[in-house]
Structure 1
Amino acid sequence: MTQTPRGFDPTNVPPTQPEAFGAPDAGEGSGAASPAAGTDLVPGTPAAATAAGRGEGPAAGAPPTPAPDPERQVTRAGMVWAAVASALVVLILLIAFILQNQEYVQVKFFGLEGSVPLGIALLIAAVGGGVLVAIAGAARIIQLRVAARRSRATR
């Protein structure tokens, strides 16, 4: 597939190129298929982009994406519902994992020793890792807020 060069105007083909648009010996009156000013252009094609740049064709005044349906707007309540639904799915998968891994394992941590179900031990380890990530994230957020406050004070 060939690409159309940028700035190429398909309606302004010099007469010295009779094989324009793949039609051999396409003259002025041969009836060969070539785009004209009033033809429909497929949006997203180079010809449509060129026509849109000149202010011609159907893509000239059309928005690049369709307007969102006013009945389906994203709301905070909808986002919270989606987050809760996702969390419930993850929680169900976590419960299934813990129930399937009930074998007791020996755990040692800084001199403490004990026997715990494998699923619970892994859950405790994952929660501990999450707490460490949350602490690092909170420290970074505080650092950015202090820097933003200082930059506002110097203005």
Structure 2
Amino acid sequence: MSHARNDGPDGVSKSEIPEAPGTEVPGAPDHAAPGTAPGAEPGARPPAAKPAGRPGKGKVKSTRISGTWVAVIVAIVLLVFLLVFILQNLDTATVHFLGASGSMPLAVAMLFAAIAGAALVALIGGARILQLRKQARRRR
């Protein structure tokens, strides 16, 4: 009954027989190769191992909430820089616009100019979006 335990002819288990490097027989099944399935072709790659960590879990997908959270953090950082800019540029400047004039801190005047420019770009962009939507409805 020695063959039931996969023993050699002398009663010693094949797993206990050390093999010398380079003594493999070409074309012979390699019983000692870890990760190979019985009956697999010689030289075939073992099945790929799953990465360590949580089983069945890959990279976590980003969500709209996480994107919003990142945008809020970026906005807070920008507002801090804007506050520092305003506090460092409190020199009074005289502003003339369409016949009206007034004096205000330089940074506040620049902030108003930036807001006015952003509003102008938003109006033009909004008009273009409406134009494209109107064309898309006509094509249907």
TM-score, length-normalised on structure 1?
Answer: 0.53
Residue type matched to 1:137 in 2?
A: G
Aligned residue for 1:107, secondary structure, equals: strand
Residue number in structure 2 paired with 1:107:
95
Quote the RMSD (CA, aligned, Å).
Answer: 1.5
The letter for the 2-side match of 1:103 is D
Aligned length: 85
Instruction: Report the counterpart of residue 88 of structure 1 in structure 2.
Output: 76
Unpaired stretches in structure 1, ≥5 consecutive residues? 1-57, 59-68
Over 6 Å off, 4+ runs: none
Map Cα deviations across residues 5-37 of structure 1 (whole Å, 9 max, x no partner).
Answer: xxxxxxxxxxxxxxxxxxxxxxxxxxxxxxxxx
Of 120, 141, 149 in structure 1, the residue corresponding to residue 129 of structure 2 is 141
* Structure 2 residues without counterparts, runs of 5 or longer: 1-44, 46-56
Letter in 2 for 1:122: M
| TM-score w.r.t. length of structure 2 | 0.58
Aligned runs of 1:118-129 on 2, under 5 Å? 118-129=106-117
The higher relative CO (CA closer than 8 Å, separation ≥ 6) is in 1
Larger radius of gyration: 2
State the identity %: 47
